[in-house]
Amino acid sequence: MDKKKLSFKDIMINYGVIIIVVLLVIYTGITSKNFLSVNNLTNILMNMSSRLVIALGIAGCIITAGCDLSAGRMIGLGGCIAGTLLQKMDYSQKFFPNMKPMNIFLALLIVMLVCALFGAVTGFFIAYLNVPPFISTMAMMEIVYGINMIYTNATPLGGYVSSYTGIASGRFLGISYLIWIALLVAVITWFIFNMTRHGKYMYAIGGNPQAAEVAGVPVKKTLIIIYAKAAAMYGLAGFMLGAKAGGASVQLGYGYEMEAIAACTIGGVSVSGGRGKVSSAIIGVAVFEILKAALQFLGVNSNAQWIALGIIIFVAISLDIRKYVARK
């Protein structure tokens, strides 16, 4: 039986955004000699690292036909908790004046557990009270932001110990620790998605939650785990961003959730549920970071870059919905 050939229209619907970005990269590489330099590519990979962790977390929510608007505020909470636990003793504006800096691994564990707790609450409302993910995560977004404001009193944090900031500046085999962390998270996520019962449950729920429940899938429990796991990954991303910036505030991670959702969609994670891979998140995040870097090298006004990113988000979601309708 002959395989169905893709028309130009089909190619543009499925890969149009990626093709446009590739052409932009070629043009920028020709007109800006430093764009394809090792230093710039390394910077792009470092910027991708925390964004990829966020996208991998939110991908699980999208695969179940949900979303997570609380991701950005969770990132801010994670970064601020880490910042208050990892300041130098002699820092003049130390948050806990008499507390010694915590072990970075213990601090990371606390950050991820706290964020996971909030994610589990979100998942509970979605699973047991049938609150739509959009509403549930939007409510949690406001709650987490308020808690973070009260916790930090909206005070910027800094003065971190070198063992924490060293996560961003340190290298192993010539590659930043941040990139290694992102790769490790990607491998673990791939294993969960493809090799575990939880991953199979996740795709089943995204395809048809009613049929999945009839087939014996623990839908409610799985949803809670998915949102808790995603929130833990947002906490990890906040931890990474705090180390990279050498500081944090309640505004850390603001708006990152929309970029992560769009990145997943560009790469092939369907907002209608049931479809998506780890590679989808990687491709989508790469497209976004390369696009931002290219626009900067081309001298596009920084404010106008937001317009370009917004158009990309609009087109990506629109094309995904079009593909969903076509499949139906």
Q: Which helix (H) or strand (E) holds 176?
A: strand 175-176
Report yes or no on 1 lying in a domain. Answer: no
Cα gap 233→10, rounded to integer Å:
34
Q: Which domain holds residue 243?
A: 36-254
Q: How far apart are CA 74 and CA 254, in angstroms?
A: 9
Q: DSSP secondary structure string, 194-224?
A: HHSHHHHHHHHHHH-HHHHHHTT--HHHHHH
| Mean pLDDT for the stretch of residues 7-34 | 77
Q: How far apart are CA 290 and CA 203, in angstroms?
A: 29
Q: Which amino acid is at 191?
A: F
Q: What angle do CA 249, 252, 254 make, to 5 degrees?
A: 135
195-229 in b/e form (b: 16+ CB < 10 A) is eeebbebbbbbbbebeebeeeebbbbebbbbbbbb
Query: Is residue 302 situated within a structural domain?
Result: no
CA distances from 244 to 69, 104, 130, 252 (A): 24, 14, 38, 12
> Which pLDDT score is estimated for 14?
65
**290 lies in a domain?**
no
Interaxial angle between packed helices 71-85 and 256-267, expressed in degrees from 0 to 180 and rounded to the nearest 10: 120
pTM of the shown model:
0.90
Measured CA to CA, the distance from residue 246 to residue 83 in angstroms comes to 9
The yes-or-no verdict on residue 263 having pLDDT over 60 is yes
Phi then psi for 143, rounded to 5 degrees? -65, -50
Amino acid, res. 126: I
Q: Are 165 and 98 in contact (CB under 8 A)?
A: no
Largest CA distance in the chain: 74
Is 136's pLDDT higher than 90?
yes
Is 31 contained in some domain? no
Helix (H) or strand (E) holding 172: strand 171-172
Digit-coded pLDDT (tens) for 80-116: 999 999 999 988 888 998 899 999 999 999 999 999 9
CB 82 within 8 A of CB 238: yes
pLDDT tens per residue across span 228-258? 999 999 999 999 999 999 999 999 999 899 8
pLDDT at 131 over 50: yes
Query: What does the pLDDT look like over 28-57, one tens digit per residue?
Result: 888 888 888 888 888 899 999 999 999 999
List CB contacts of 250: < 8 A, sequence separation 6 or more. Answer: 76, 80, 145, 148, 149, 152, 154
- Cα separations in angstroms, 202 against 23, 59, 76, 185, 275: 35, 11, 27, 18, 10
Amino acid at 289: E
C-alpha span between 99 and 110 (Å, rounded) = 16
Domain membership of residue 139 (yes or no) is: yes
User: Tokens 């609009």 label which residue?
Assistant: 314
Residue 217 belongs to some domain of the structure: yes
Angle at 54 between CA 182 and CA 93, to 5 degrees: 90
Residue 259 belongs to some domain of the structure: no
pLDDT in tens, 141-171: 999 999 999 999 989 998 999 999 999 989 9
Provide, rounded to the nearest whole percent, the portion of the chain with pLDDT above 70.
92
Q: Looking at the predicted structure, is the pLDDT value of residue 323 above 80?
A: no
Provide the number of structural domains found in the chain.
Answer: 1
> Does some domain include residue 319?
no
DSSP 79: H
The pLDDT value given to residue 6: 59
Task: At 242, list the tokens.
Answer: 């705090």
Q: What is the pLDDT of residue 1?
A: 43
pLDDT band for position 2 (50/70/90)?
Answer: very low
pLDDT, one tens digit per residue, over 306-318 is: 887 788 777 777 7
Q: Is 69 exposed, middle or buried (0-12, 13-18, 19+ CB in 10 A)?
A: buried
Percent of the chain clearing pLDDT 90 (strictly above): 56
Given a cut of 90, whether residue 292 has pLDDT beyond it is no
The token pair that represents 249 in the structure block: 């505030």
Residue 5 exposed, middle or buried by CB count within 10 Å (0-12, 13-18, 19+): exposed
Mean pLDDT over all residues of the chain? Answer: 89
Banded pLDDT at 22 (limits 50, 70, 90)? confident
Tell me 275's DSSP state. -
pLDDT at 300: 81
